[in-house]
Amino acid sequence: MKKLYTEYEYKKYHARHCRRQAYNRRRSQYKQNYGNIALNTTIGRVQYKTLFAPAKFCIKENPEEVVRFVNKLNKNFEKRIPTFVNLSKVTYISYDAIVVLLSIMSQFKRNRIQFNGNFPDNFQCNIILRESGFLGNLYEKQIVRYDTVAKKKNVIRKHGKEALGEVAEELIRICSENIWSKPCRCQGVYRILIELMQNTHAHANNDKPGVENWWLSVNYDSQNNKACFSFVDYGIGIFTSLERKKESDKFFGMLNEIKRKIVDPSNAKVLERILDGDLHRTSTGRSYRGKGLPGIKTALERNQISNLYIITNDAYSSVCENKYITLSHAFDGTFIYWELTENNTKCNDTKA
């Protein structure tokens, strides 16, 4: 009679038990070292290249470091390199950076490129990231999240490829109810959202219009009673798009035309002129500020929005501060941030 441990069924069970035990040991060790991942690490059978997020993880306030970090992520994505996003050293995090990170990691997931990551060691940053809905949006199939619970009002995410008026209306309704305790019209915000969605659809990729996604995050700040909007698309950026315009396009050659008129032809200074309407004025011969970036600045001047930031290619602007600088690292796409506060102009009805 065979001993129990020499029988086939026992050996099969024992092998399965050993594999399970080994998996549990690896998982336990991984959890213990969660915030101390080496530059190259192996989890299971996958070797990851680790990228460390900057301590101040806020694209509108720390554009140089965040854009450099984003570019490294995009480079790994293009080369299909398994990537570990290490957030352990982050001491300040904002929702604008979270939506940028979400948009990139969603591309990893959609293209089945291995990725992993951890949470900040800083308690407050850890809580902000966990409550932002980042993981839910990244791993759940549902792509729209509206949280109406008081403590969760700051979690709204949406992405798409087309101009979606119903999305803009719904967001404005939620934001106005949070800020003024009733649904109101916010014409400036509505026009900005539709314009940005349309621009992504039409201009983010000159060769194949409509293939690029836009990402939108809206977060309610209850302490300051304001809604913070972060819009990002990973097309080619405004200046690259203008440089590649075809002869049949009304904006063909307009970028060089504007640069010839100014002393400093950097993209940062050109962005300032574009916001003032020079691009439309140069192409049409008329002063026209209704659409595109000039329309966004017009909304700011009319007090329909507040605190406007724009990053596109290597141009950065804090428009309210009249601050225009050239970044040392170019952002492949366009990022726009603005706020809606209780002091901004509104209309007291619910039609958008």
Order of strands, sheet of 46-52, starting from the edge strand that comes earlier in the sequence: 40-43, 46-52, 83-86, 115-117
Per-residue CA distances from 21 to 26, 29, 167 (Å):
9, 12, 48
Tens of pLDDT along the chain (352 residues) come to 455 556 777 777 777 878 888 777 766 655 554 444 445 666 667 788 999 999 999 999 999 999 999 999 999 999 999 999 999 999 999 999 999 999 899 889 889 999 999 999 999 999 998 888 788 778 765 444 444 333 445 556 666 666 677 888 888 888 999 899 898 889 899 999 988 888 776 654 445 444 567 888 888 888 899 999 999 887 777 777 777 777 666 666 677 777 777 767 788 888 888 888 766 555 444 544 456 788 899 999 999 999 999 999 999 999 999 999 999 999 988 899 999 999 998 776 554 4
d(C-alpha 167, C-alpha 227), whole Å: 16
Per-residue CA distances from 188 to 29, 135, 239, 245 (Å):
52, 31, 24, 28
d(C-alpha 192, C-alpha 180), whole Å: 20
